[in-house]
Chains A and B, each alone.
Chain A
Amino acid sequence: MKVKEYFKAGLWTENPVLIQFLGLCPALAITTTTLNAFTMGLCLTLVLIGSNVLIALLRRLIPHHVRIIFYVLIISGLVSLVEMILSTFFNDLYNALGIFVPLIAANGILLARAETFASKNKVLPGLLDGVAMGCGFTIVLVLVGLIREVVGSGTIFGYTLFGGISPLSVFALPAGGFLTLGLLAAAAQFFRNRAKRGSHDGTV
């Protein structure tokens, strides 16, 4: 039951991208293909799990005044680790994501979860929160990536989808990223409003 709550928060009610509007930078920049989006989601999830667990472990040892510096150190150390793993074993993906892999270190989700959750909770809740929030982030990224890849380049996972029709290439450009995420956020708001109306029995 408890685990379910974490996932409900991470995937829907407190979704880091669609509800809290954190981590928009990678959500807009590297979501031109589904594979890139998934890889970015996975990298961020790994870093988030690591930083949540470490910060929850060390929460009594970190002095309150300089805690941000400690968080930054922990997070950027983990990002360097992920960067090295990615560049050694998956060099193509590393090159495709480029500068946005080290930029995970400056992602708002990590500092926000460290400050609002991991620093106030034990290790296991920190771990669960990391997994749930990471999944919420990854799912939104993959959705954006899927839409942008299909509409913007006419391919899916790199395979050409419909031969004769030329794709709307604007969706592969930065402006298309804003547009896709905007439409997705609107869809999320639509479903949230409908659920709210349903529970209030039509009184909005």
Chain B
Amino acid sequence: MEQFDLGTIIAFAIGAILVENIVLSRLFGCGSFFGLTRKKETAVGMGILLIAIMGLSSLFTYCVYQWVLVPFQLEYLRTMAFMLLIALLVQLAEMVIKKYLPALYHMLGIYLPLMAGNCAVLGVCLSSIERNYNLASSVLYAVFSAVGFLLVAWVFTLVRDRIEENDNIPKSFQGFPITLIAAALLAFGFMGFSGVQI
């Protein structure tokens, strides 16, 4: 709203996507991250859907917080209110997708309702409140955070493809442990962006 030029938006984008990536440096939504990156199609489909869900939920949670919870001094109810809003939004998205995009619905399957329990969505909504962002900044921050999730999820599916093809992994590390170690290496890479100031 105030002084929103292209430069601010780009700075926001780089900040949310690379410098403090929600998965690798803020560690929000790690659970769904590992569940979703088994297949490239689900990772990309969910990532794109997450952009919409996160943008909308930060819009709604901001409005509810500033216009309902703050005036009535009910800030302590924010966790409940936000979770309820996100769950309703996910349920709505599920209904819309089931009706109009059945192919996508079958592809995403069980992951769609689980989005209500995705701590990335709640985490981003709560962070923008804690950082005192205004409405436009909150939505921008949420959207770019979701883009960051999409980017890392896509990269990580490629990494997991390599892991799948490798037969030389020690028995104790096969499956989940090596996936976590791979994520650690990716996080090491993203540490290179930390401290970048725009």
B57-94 with Cβ < 8 A to chain A: 76-80, 82-84, 87-88, 91
Q: A107-B119, A189-B172, A193-B171 are in contact. Are A28 and B181 (CB under 8 A)?
A: no
A174-193 with Cβ < 8 A to chain B: 174-179, 181-183, 185-187, 189-190, 193
Output the nearest chain B residue to A182 by Cβ-Cβ distance: B180
Contact with A28, one of B27, B87, B88 (Cβ below 8 angstroms): B27
In angstroms, Cα B117 to Cα A190, docked, is 31
Give the distance to chain B from A110, nearest Cβ to Cβ, in Å: 8
Give the distance to chain B from A99, nearest Cβ to Cβ, in Å: 5
B76 touches A80 (CB 8 A): yes
In angstroms, Cα B187 to Cα A176, docked, is 9
Chain B residues closer than 8 Å to A23, beta-carbon distance: 31
Q: Does B173 contact A (CB under 8 A)?
A: yes
In angstroms, Cα B117 to Cα A68, docked, is 10
B180 touches A174 (CB 8 A): no
Q: Does A165 contact B (CB under 8 A)?
A: no
Q: How many A-B contacts if CB must be within 8 Å?
A: 141
- The binding surface of chain A is classed by DSSP as helix
Interface membership of chain B positions 104-128, coded 1 if the CB is closer than 8 angstroms to chain A and 0 otherwise: 0000000001101111011100110
Chain B residues closer than 8 Å to A175, beta-carbon distance: 24, 184-185, 187-188, 191
B: which residues have CB within 8 A of A?
24-32, 34-35, 76-80, 82-84, 87-88, 91, 113-114, 116-119, 121-123, 126-127, 130, 171-181, 183-185, 187-188, 191
List 10 other contacts, CB 8 Å, given A29-B27, A185-B176, A190-B171.
Answer: A21-B176, A24-B31, A29-B28, A102-B79, A105-B122, A111-B117, A177-B184, A179-B180, A186-B173, A189-B176
Contacts A/B (CB < 8 Å), 15 sampled: A28-B27, A69-B91, A72-B83, A72-B84, A76-B82, A79-B79, A99-B123, A105-B122, A106-B123, A111-B114, A111-B116, A111-B117, A175-B185, A185-B176, A189-B172
